[in-house]
Amino acid sequence: MNAEEYKIYIDNVVRKVETARLKVSGHHIVKTVAISKYSTAADIAKLYNIGQRAFGENKVQDLKAKATELEELPLEWHFVGNLQKNKINNLLEINPTLFHALDSMELAEELQKKLEAKDMILDALLQINSAKEESKHGFMPEDASEAYARIQRECPNINLKGVMSIGAHSDDRDVIKKSFETTYEIYKNLDGATICSMGMSGDFELAIECGSNMVRLGSIMFNK
């Protein structure tokens, strides 16, 4: 695809997001984070040139490498992957816009210590394992609200802004939908939460219809 074709292709993806959000309401705004984990810095620059500003990675070392290489561009970096405790300092050095995957109380406590020592505040989302899958990280739906309140109470350097979830791994649309509804139900009852991050390339329209206001699009944005 040349630059012109790529722009038309992306316009079409944007239109799909628009169509889905308008089904919810004209006031329902959805932000797209382009997940660049399978893409190069050059690919990111191409997408930036047609208007995309927010990008996300799932490995700290990749985030660091790409953020450094593209330093001169005014990009917004999100971190969406599982964060190992020994990588916390490396992540904080990059000072990401939003950490989507706060997935355990131990991680929250460790993050709090490191943030306090550096006198930093990190915006974060509580990850919910809404379909209770063995292969996924995150809080169980029944524990999520209490964990959210506890982190708000005990971790003053973590600024919780909402929740993140990955749709159920299934071919059954109803099963995926149920997992999004579970997350949305928790989200809407949280005190002060404004971000509900759910929906990837294969299921973002459904996620938006279930209330998502932040989609994480990888393969579809980079046409991989």
21/100 with CB nearer ligand PLP: 100
DSSP conformation letters of 152-192: HHH-TTEEEEEEEEPPPS-S-HHHHHHHHHHHHHHHHTSTT
Q: Of 14-22, 142-150, 183-191, 194-202, which part binds ligand PLP (CB under 6 A)?
A: 194-202
141, 20, 220, 59 alpha-carbon torsion, rounded to 10°:
-30
Instruction: Give me the 120-159 binding string for ligand PLP, x by CB under 6 A, dash otherwise.
Output: ----------------------------------------
Minimum distance from residue 137 beta carbon to ligand PLP (Å): 9
> Per CB under 6 A, does 66 bind ligand PLP?
no
> Per CB under 6 A, does 37 bind ligand PLP?
yes
Of 157-186, binders to ligand PLP (CB under 6 A) are 166
> Per CB under 6 A, does 78 bind ligand PLP?
no
Q: Which residues pair with 35 in a beta bridge?
A: 56
Paired tokens of 182: 């579970």
Q: Which of 97, 152, 201, 223 binds ligand PLP (CB under 6 A)?
A: 201
Q: What amino acid is encoded at 114 in this protein?
A: K
Measured distance CA(187)–CA(145) in Å, rounded:
8
> Per CB under 6 A, does 83 bind ligand PLP?
no
> Per CB under 6 A, does 200 bind ligand PLP?
yes
Return the number of other C-beta atoms located less than 10 Å from residue 211's C-beta: 17
Under DSSP, the state recorded for 38 is: T
**Is 24:209 a contact under the CB 8 Å cutoff?**
yes
Q: Which of 35, 91, 186, 196 binds ligand PLP (CB under 6 A)?
A: 35
> Per CB under 6 A, does 96 bind ligand PLP?
no
Minimum distance from residue 123 beta carbon to ligand PLP (Å): 16
Closest C-alpha among 179, 184, 182, 205 to residue 196: 184
Task: By CB under 6 A, name the binding residues for ligand PLP.
Answer: 35, 37, 58, 80-81, 166, 200-202, 216-220
